[in-house]
Structures are given as structure tokens and as C-alpha cells.
Structure 1
Amino acid sequence: MKSEDGSRTYRIRIAKPDQAPPPAGYPTLYVLDANAVFGTAAETANVQGRRSDKTGVPPTLVVGIGYPSEEPFPPDRHYDFTLDDDPAALPLHPQGGQWPPQGGARSFLQFLENRLKPDIARSYAVDTSRQTLFGHSLGGLFALYALFAAPGAFRTYVAGSPSIHWNKRAIETEEAAFAAGGGTGEDIRALIAVGSLEENHKSRMVDRARELAHRLAALNRPGLHVEYRSFEDDNHVSLLPGLISRAIRFASG
């Protein structure tokens, strides 16, 4: 699929359950960084959805959003998942180089809302009231931005090891606007998760994620449910399979 202005190209992967959709349609899991994790998400949803009576997970449509590349984490993700294109606001490159282009999160959210989700709804029987957005690392940062900027776009937002430090100033501005809003009373679920082995990362990734989860929970906003989870003995990458499994069950709550 192309972005609205035609400048961006995405590879969309879809895993449709073998089972017939529930009366309201399939719950839908939208997975960022599909080049890396789509297979894991599709298999996890398939296995759990086959025994809903045991797992509590209904048959779920999985939509992976990736890029026409064989890399698990193509550099294009930098532009789509970040808010700030000011080089002075970004972390220093570890090799002293330059980061890929940044700052396209607002356009990417519009792509999801205006092109991808309507196309999926036209093509499959989906329950538009039970949609989940899953992102990890920079994708986790984007999931937080989507929660703050468009809290009604999805029912469930999953931010794994979110790179809050990357766009700290910009994401704090979005959080402040979200906190100041009164909310709609709609059921919104947010899962913020980290690997315990990330505790000593120089970005303070774990501290920032935990502090954010506590701030959101303290809002006591009707309909907003926030959960923080640390995956024991997992690092920034190894937590992904367990987090995907947890995300699918969390979305079914």
C-alpha cells in the first residue's frame, strides 16, 4: 500500500483465522515492525484463538505493517514512528553517523486511520470496537503517540520497551494534552512493558516506561485501564515473543 501522498510504500501482511468470525466480526491486531514479528504474532493468535474456551482469546485477524525489504528492522521505520526531526533533539548516533530521516509519525497515523483500517474493514469482517495496536522500541514510542493523539482509534495500545527518550520532549507534550483532556469514557486499554535486563540501559528505558505507566494510572480516568509489566530475564529483543502472547490476551480482557 502507498501512503496518502504516494511517497511511502508499505508491505501489509494479513493472517485470517480459519474459524468463522464472531457475530460482531474478528478482533484485529495491528502489528508494527511486521518484517520482524508478523510470523510470531500470527502463529500466537492462531494457536490461542483455536481454543477460546480455554484461552479466552477469540479468533483474531492479524494485520502486519512492514516494508518492502528483507531486513527485520528497515530504516524506514525511523520516519514513521518518530515525532521530532530536529537532529539536536535526538540521541547521539553510536558510530558518530547520521540517523535515517525522522518525524513522520503524524502522517503515519493518518495512513493507518484513513487508508489501512478502512481497507481492512471493507475486506474482512472485523469488529471495529476491538482493535489493537502493537509496537515495540520505536514502534512502542509510536503506540504511545497514537494513544495520546487518537485515543479512540484503537481499543488497546501495547507499547513494548518504548523509546521515550528518543522524542522525550515531543511525547511529553502529547502526554500532557492527553492528561488534560477529559476523556470520552470509552474503554481504552494500555499495556506498557519492558524486559528486566533493560534496567541499566543508559536511556533509562525501564524507569521512563514505569513512570509513565504510573502517571497514566493515576489519572483515574473512567474507562482507561493501564498495566505495566516487566518480563523477567528478558532483554530489549528477547521479550518480544512473550510480550506478543501477553498482548493478545490483554486485548481480550
Structure 2
Amino acid sequence: MTDANGLFGLAVDTVRLMQIPGLVPSLLVVGVGYPDAEAVIDTVEIRARDLTPTPSSHFPGSGHADAFIEFVSSELRPWLAGRFPNAVGDATYFGHSLGGLFGAYTLLTASSTFDRYIVSSPSLWWDGEVIFDIERERADTDRLRSEVFFGIGSLETDAGRRREALNLAEGHPAKPPPVHLDMVDDIRRFAAQLAARSDPTLQISRVEIVDEFHATVPGVVLNRALRSFYSTTEEDREI
């Protein structure tokens, strides 16, 4: 998982609780974060560097997702194999927001990096929705050979994100700008575009979590995805 500075504790505790009734097998949770950051807000610039596929003038230094994929493949996976050799043969990725964008990009360009992808509230708006163009460019040639779970909060619409930020003062950097942004519509269109490939090696699930915001949904998406991937019952696999 990416964004470990903010989400690692949530992911570990989710897995621990789900293991008690046997909803998931034994799992090693690996979080990639930034040890020099004192708070989550301090990771904004560096995560934009690592998790985005193309540079944006609004985020100096962004657009180095390919280098981050190379780090995962060439450094992180061998490091893990040396310490936990039984845990690296079957890997699931979990990323939220820009981390979700990174998951979508890795799926399209280096799908074998992971066996499964949990794509939570992905920032598909990045750089004029460039991820849609990347998918179209590769749609006729690549077999993705992956399971993908797309999840998002039903309140991640344009109106919903403004409602989410009502308690923030005007001028706060996290206050949504006037630009229209509907992440729910984005994820619907992207999942449909992927499904149109008719790729027999690709399994897609998508869920919209009722009454959840961008900031409140990642834990719900994670547990729904893990149940979908690992459950032995048809009901859980279809949630």
C-alpha cells in the first residue's frame, strides 16, 4: 500500500480484525511512506512525485510513477523476498486518491507488478484525465491478467466534496476550488472503459459506498475488496 503515513494503521487493524473470524488468510501488510514527514500534510508534494504518471505545473516535481514502479519491482520486492520469502508470491496493491491513480496506471502499464489491485477513490482527473488516454492507447495490445476492485464513496461528487469541506474556513488549502469535479462519474466511466476491452484475464468489481466522503471511505473500500478477493461465499464475492 502507498500513503502509509496516513493509512498504514487503518490497513493493519482492518486485516487483524478480519483475520479473527477467518475472513482473510494470513497477510503481510507492507506500507510505503516517508519517514521524514512529521504529519500527513507533509507528504503532499512527495506523494505527487511518486504516484502520478505525468507532470503537472500545479505540482512541481510530479510525474514519476514509472520510477516508483521500478522501485517496487527492483528494490522493494527483492528486499521483502529476503525477509519474508513466503509472502511475496501473491501481492495485492491498495491505494487511495493519488494512490488509486497510481494503482490504475500500474495496472495499465505494468500489471504483473501486482496480482490484485484495490483502487480506492482514484484521482482520475489528473492532467486532464490522461489516464483515460493511456488506457485507450494500450487497449488493443495488453492483457492485464489481474483482479481489480474499484471503490468510492457515493458523496465524492462535486456537490459532495463541497459538503465534506463545509467546516473548513474560506481560503483553507483543502477547500475545493470552483472547478467542477465528480469522482464518482470518473470511476464509472473508467471501469466501463476497461470492461469494454472484453479481456478474459481481467476481473473487475466496482462498488459505491453509500454516504461516504473521500476522507471516510478508504477503510470501507479496503475491507469490501479483501472480502471480495478472499471470501469463499458467493455473497461476499459480489459485494
Give CA deviations for 1:23-74 in whole Å, capped at 9, x if unaligned: xxxxxxxx1100011011111112212332xx2x101000001102122241
The whole-number CA distance in structure 2 between the counterparts of 1:168 and 1:132 is 28
Alignment counterpart, residue 199 of structure 1, candidates 152, 157, 160: 157
Length-normalised TM-score, structure 1:
0.76
Structure 1: which 5+ residue stretches go unaligned? 1-30, 88-97
Alignment counterpart, residue 196 of structure 2, candidates 189, 210, 218: 218
* Aligned residue number for residue 117 of structure 2: 157
Aligned Cα RMSD in Å?
1.8
Number of residue-to-residue matches in the alignment = 208
Alignment counterpart, residue 5 of structure 2, candidates 30, 35, 38: 35
Amino acid at match of 1:151: S
* Aligned residue number for residue 82 of structure 1: 52
Q: CA deviation at 1:192?
A: 1.3
Identity of aligned residues (%): 33
Q: Where is the helix percentage greater, Structure 1 or Structure 2?
A: 2
* Aligned residue number for residue 244 of structure 1: 222
Alignment check: 8 A CA contact 2:95 2:103 kept: yes
* Aligned residue number for residue 67 of structure 1: 34
The whole-number CA distance in structure 2 between the counterparts of 1:129 and 1:219 is 27
Give CA deviations for 1:84-141 in whole Å, capped at 9, x if unaligned: 2242xxxxxxxxxx53421111111110111001111121033544211111111111
1:112 matched to 2:72? The reply is yes
Alignment check: 8 A CA contact 1:129 1:155 kept: no
Structure 2: which 5+ residue stretches go unaligned? 162-179, 232-239
Alpha-carbon distance change, 129 to 210 in structure 1, aligned in 2, over 3 angstroms: farther
Q: Where is the strand percentage greater, Structure 1 or Structure 2?
A: 1
Alignment check: 8 A CA contact 1:148 1:177 kept: no
